[in-house]
Chains A and B, each alone.
Chain A
């Protein structure tokens, strides 16, 4: 251990020397004027000890107080400490299992701050004492010698050492693949009178930070290919077998990098945006799939929301034994996930690229608090994922495009996930307070898709696009909340959407319309006294009932019930025996509505155009007079053929 530390120290000295040389030429200016407030800026020098899978680095943080209240302390995230032991909040909540991956309990990780000092304007340093306010050491606090007034600025020097865990949840190493995410001591978000927003790293939560400029120099073995947030603006070989790569990003709120000697690089461009794909050799056949997906997403986001403003997007393909790093978003860098086993008709690689790229908008630029309101990025982004996949492959094929003759749309897949946990928790909830990981997932991803898809169907797609664009343009490079969302979309829609959105986002109510009763009642001939006559007279026996439409002698009564608590307007299609159809609209406010017709009804469908994907039970939305056995028989035949194949195998026919 000692010799390893000495070596790492030597590497750092060499690296800093090299870095000093590199800093002679300045990093490029990417955005002038800046797109964000840039109040949390980082200059980091870090070296990778590839054998020990450790990082050693130092950072200079320049933080400006952009609130109206003074700050007397500073709070940091030390995210990697979530993987330090099985007593961290992250481990206790996840049990060492997350997103389909299991922690390797032999290869833990940590982030240790070795020195921390406030840098005075004259360059002198004041050491600061580290305090750990939480139940684990994923959050660190320091008391500042003097308050930082509104508009004031401080500079902090931090030295740190990271041990990377074996990839489990996003960060770490797998073989010689390194995913350095959540790797440096990072400030929380100062929220004025509310203090610092700096939560522990929870199993179900992601992140929250301020925008800034990142200048990062990474020293790695010479044969490693490096990918990162931002752009690479310089690289130099330093003594030994190492090189230092200089990276720069502006108007971002996080910085991730990856390195591996095995990456295959594929480049492309889309309207001036450089696309860089870092692929595992065994997955190289999936490069065209990634490339097509990123171009599709770039194009449709530009059309619907805003043209991607950054110079580059990097897509990282993690290795087979590092899939815990897959499917993750960082500013201008995303990780996807492919496999040679993936059939082309199963569109998971495309979907993951589209989804993670969408986060450049919903998380990257609309930088909500993922700890507290994860739906604002995951949910809105999942909605856009379905929009793009549907536009690309068609709404019925956007996840499964003819796999063994089967097909399924992205919305249908989200719907399946949604109705497995529709009402345990509300959508808006701090990530660690959900009843389970599955509930977090449903409420942050799937239910918001259902909500936004329903809103789209209520407003119309064109209006929805206007509304969402208005929301994005108003909140980009800020930290919006759910309240902001409801307010801005209501303004843009020209009507108060709070009565619809608040119960759906803040409550646990559900939507379930049901065709409760359909009665076709034969009309009886009139009997008794006819009071229309001058003198009450008994109806004549041969008086026939009034005929209604083509159907003789029937009236009909249809009762549609609202079983869920959520009130939404809904369409009802009623078809009669004369083949005519009437489309009714019900505001859904009462528990049920009774519809009466002077003729026989043959079919009733609530929400015939599928405008309310939130409806928990689509089967009870319809009724038909004549049973139609064709769908069940068709399905039964397919199952029968499947059974027969296996029995043929069993009985030796193959």
Chain B
């Protein structure tokens, strides 16, 4: 199968909406939960005081600092759920991905809303294993790849001119992005292989098959990953960077809604990428060898005895 055809299949087909909504809801729900203590703390701290109007337009940072100094527990309490939810996002994200990948199979396209929950739950342990294997493998590669950079960094620490250090930093950022996408593509292909049961249901075998595929079709897989990554980044940047900070509550709500649209667009693109991976991997599998039609053994001619002959 060609890459273009795989992407076309990824962008088309049924069940995308359910998957996208599921992916979209994970960060939204977690941010809502994690933000609850902060939200109530901020209301308690500021609602009665006219000076807090400065906070509307991105100012009043001294008021925030003042609040933290006066109530040392203010920010700690406000951010108390932030880290647990961040860890939880890893797990919940995998669960949502499992649902989305499972809906990428053609036979799962019908009744997506009914299928996605049990499929996600059923696939989660396998996806956890895939993610762990991927993290270990690429973690080791990352450490090895970072060694020359670390040595360079150490050299630049003593450098009088910040210029080369700055260029090195930029190079590190680019390298990190490339590395991130390679690891992400490998993980994605491994998840697709798991869903497709390449490896006969053995997760390690599926992982290896996915990894091998991502390396064998490196250019195509990377092109697909980078393409979708760039689109997602553009959607994100369009709302975060293109719109200035809102100076009224209404404006902030509008900006928040735009931000949600961007996150949803990212979720949709992520689902399309997953489905493209599944389609590309499935389409690149060797066709099963045609089974030679063996002549069925002819039953020995049995003399049919008619009852009459008995």
CB B265 to nearest CB in A, in angstroms, measures 10
- In contact, A623 and B52 (Cβ under 8 angstroms): no
Given A406-B245, A639-B35, A647-B27, 12 more pairs with CB closer than 8 A: A175-B159, A283-B162, A319-B160, A341-B166, A408-B59, A619-B45, A619-B63, A623-B48, A637-B256, A638-B245, A640-B35, A643-B34
Contact of A647 among B31, B39, B97 (CB under 8 A): B31
Contacts A406-B58, A634-B55, A639-B38; is A651 near B93 (CB within 8 Å)? yes
Which residues of the partner chain A approach B263 to less than 8 Å between Cβ atoms? 644, 648, 653
Pick the interface stretch among B65-73, B115-123, B199-207. Answer: B65-73
CB B230 to nearest CB in A, in angstroms, measures 11
B249 at the interface (CB under 8 A from A): yes
Bound-complex Cα distance A280 to B70 (A): 42
Q: List 28 A-B contacts (CB under 8 A).
A: A176-B160, A281-B161, A321-B160, A404-B245, A407-B59, A412-B59, A413-B62, A416-B66, A605-B51, A619-B52, A619-B66, A622-B50, A631-B52, A631-B56, A633-B252, A634-B56, A640-B256, A641-B240, A644-B28, A645-B236, A646-B89, A647-B26, A648-B27, A650-B89, A651-B26, A651-B30, A653-B266, A654-B233
Contacts A640-B32, A650-B89; is A282 near B49 (CB within 8 Å)? no
B179 at the interface (CB under 8 A from A): no
- In contact, A405 and B58 (Cβ under 8 angstroms): yes
Which residue of chain B lies nearest to A575 when distances are taken between CB atoms in the complex?
Answer: B50
- In contact, B51 and A619 (Cβ under 8 angstroms): yes
Residue among A341, A408, A619 with most chain B CB within 10 A:
A619
Q: Mark A385-419, 1 if CB is under 8 A from B, else 0.
A: 00000000000100010101111100011011001
- In contact, A653 and B27 (Cβ under 8 angstroms): yes
Chain B interface, DSSP helix/strand/loop, else mixed = helix
- In contact, B66 and A650 (Cβ under 8 angstroms): no
Which residues of the partner chain B approach A624 to less than 8 Å between Cβ atoms? 48-50
- In contact, A632 and B93 (Cβ under 8 angstroms): no
B43 at the interface (CB under 8 A from A): yes
- In contact, A175 and B266 (Cβ under 8 angstroms): no
B126 at the interface (CB under 8 A from A): no
Q: Give chain A's interface residues, CB within 8 Å of chain B.
A: 174-177, 260, 262, 280-283, 319-322, 339-341, 396, 400, 402, 404-408, 412-413, 415-416, 419-420, 603, 605, 617-624, 627-641, 643-648, 650-654
- In contact, A632 and B43 (Cβ under 8 angstroms): yes
Which residues of the partner chain A approach B287 to less than 8 Å between Cβ atoms? none
Contacts A321-B159, A647-B86, A653-B270; is A635 near B42 (CB within 8 Å)? yes
- In contact, A634 and B252 (Cβ under 8 angstroms): yes
Contact of B70 among A282, A406, A617, A628 (CB under 8 A): A617
Q: Give chain B's interface residues, CB within 8 Å of chain A.
A: 23, 26-28, 30-32, 34-35, 38-39, 42-43, 45-63, 65-67, 69-70, 82, 85-87, 89-90, 92-94, 96-97, 157-166, 169, 184, 229, 232-233, 236, 240, 244-246, 248-249, 252-253, 255-256, 259, 263, 266-267, 270
Contacts A280-B162, A654-B266; is A416 near B65 (CB within 8 Å)? yes
Bound-complex Cα distance A171 to B28 (A): 53
Which residues of the partner chain A approach B270 to less than 8 Å between Cβ atoms? 652-653
- In contact, B62 and A415 (Cβ under 8 angstroms): yes
Which residues of the partner chain B approach A321 to less than 8 Å between Cβ atoms? 157-160
Top 4 A-B pairs ranked by shortest CB distance?
A651-B93, A282-B163, A405-B245, A650-B89
Contact of A631 among B27, B55, B96 (CB under 8 A): B55
Which residues of the partner chain B approach A650 to less than 8 Å between Cβ atoms? 27, 86-87, 89-90, 93
Bound-complex Cα distance A340 to B169 (A): 11
Bound-complex Cα distance A5 to B252 (A): 69
- In contact, B51 and A622 (Cβ under 8 angstroms): yes
Contacts A628-B52, A630-B249, A631-B52; is A262 near B47 (CB within 8 Å)? no
Which residues of the partner chain B approach A645 to less than 8 Å between Cβ atoms? 27, 236, 240
Bound-complex Cα distance A30 to B8 (A): 79
Contact of B160 among A262, A339, A630, A648 (CB under 8 A): A262
Contacts A262-B161, A406-B58; is A622 near B49 (CB within 8 Å)? yes
Bound-complex Cα distance A641 to B96 (A): 20
Bound-complex Cα distance A208 to B51 (A): 43
Counted as pairs of residues, one from A and one from B, with CB atoms less than 8 Å apart, the total is 230
CB A449 to nearest CB in B, in angstroms, measures 13
- In contact, B162 and A651 (Cβ under 8 angstroms): no
Which residues of the partner chain A approach B159 to less than 8 Å between Cβ atoms? 175, 319-321
Which residues of the partner chain B approach A654 to less than 8 Å between Cβ atoms? 229, 232-233, 236, 266
Contact of A407 among B52, B58, B92, B165 (CB under 8 A): B58
Bound-complex Cα distance A196 to B42 (A): 56
Contacts A651-B27, A654-B233; is A408 near B160 (CB within 8 Å)? no
Contacts A622-B51, A643-B85; is A412 near B160 (CB within 8 Å)? no
- In contact, A603 and B23 (Cβ under 8 angstroms): no
CB A130 to nearest CB in B, in angstroms, measures 35
Bound-complex Cα distance A605 to B23 (A): 47
Bound-complex Cα distance A283 to B28 (A): 41
Bound-complex Cα distance A169 to B57 (A): 39
Bound-complex Cα distance A12 to B169 (A): 43
CB B37 to nearest CB in A, in angstroms, measures 10
Which residues of the partner chain A approach B55 to less than 8 Å between Cβ atoms? 631-632, 634-635
- In contact, A406 and B61 (Cβ under 8 angstroms): yes
Residue among A408, A603, A639 with most chain B CB within 10 A:
A639
- In contact, B232 and A653 (Cβ under 8 angstroms): yes
Which residues of the partner chain A approach B63 to less than 8 Å between Cβ atoms? 618-619
Which residue of chain B lies nearest to A413 when distances are taken between CB atoms in the complex?
Answer: B62
Bound-complex Cα distance A537 to B25 (A): 73
CB A142 to nearest CB in B, in angstroms, measures 38
Which residues of the partner chain A approach B244 to less than 8 Å between Cβ atoms? 402, 405
- In contact, B48 and A627 (Cβ under 8 angstroms): yes
Bound-complex Cα distance A404 to B246 (A): 12
Contacts A405-B244, A619-B67, A620-B49; is A651 near B161 (CB within 8 Å)? no
- In contact, A319 and B62 (Cβ under 8 angstroms): no
Which residues of the partner chain A approach B97 to less than 8 Å between Cβ atoms? 651-652
Which residues of the partner chain A approach B23 to less than 8 Å between Cβ atoms? 651, 653
Which residues of the partner chain A approach B86 to less than 8 Å between Cβ atoms? 646-647, 650
CB A260 to nearest CB in B, in angstroms, measures 8
Which residue of chain B lies nearest to A177 when distances are taken between CB atoms in the complex?
Answer: B160
Residue among A176, A319, A646 with most chain B CB within 10 A:
A646
- In contact, A416 and B61 (Cβ under 8 angstroms): yes
Which residues of the partner chain A approach B67 to less than 8 Å between Cβ atoms? 619
CB B251 to nearest CB in A, in angstroms, measures 8
- In contact, A643 and B245 (Cβ under 8 angstroms): no
Contacts A412-B62, A618-B63, A634-B246; is A653 near B35 (CB within 8 Å)? no
Which residues of the partner chain B approach A605 to less than 8 Å between Cβ atoms? 50-51
Which residues of the partner chain A approach B240 to less than 8 Å between Cβ atoms? 641, 645
Bound-complex Cα distance A624 to B248 (A): 19
Which residue of chain A lies nearest to B25 when distances are taken between CB atoms in the complex?
Answer: A651
Which residue of chain A lies nearest to B156 when distances are taken between CB atoms in the complex?
Answer: A320
- In contact, B46 and A280 (Cβ under 8 angstroms): no
Contacts A618-B66, A641-B259; is A632 near B51 (CB within 8 Å)? no
- In contact, A651 and B47 (Cβ under 8 angstroms): no
Bound-complex Cα distance A474 to B207 (A): 81
Bound-complex Cα distance A176 to B96 (A): 57
Contacts A619-B51, A639-B35; is A322 near B59 (CB within 8 Å)? no
Bound-complex Cα distance A320 to B169 (A): 14
Bound-complex Cα distance A63 to B184 (A): 74
- In contact, B42 and A636 (Cβ under 8 angstroms): yes
Residue among B52, B240, B255, B259 with most chain A CB within 10 A:
B52
Bound-complex Cα distance A174 to B69 (A): 38
Which residues of the partner chain B approach A175 to less than 8 Å between Cβ atoms? 158-160
Contact of A643 among B31, B49, B252 (CB under 8 A): B31
Contacts A408-B62, A416-B66, A618-B51; is A633 near B163 (CB within 8 Å)? no
CB A256 to nearest CB in B, in angstroms, measures 19
- In contact, B62 and A633 (Cβ under 8 angstroms): no
Contacts A282-B161, A619-B67; is A636 near B249 (CB within 8 Å)? no
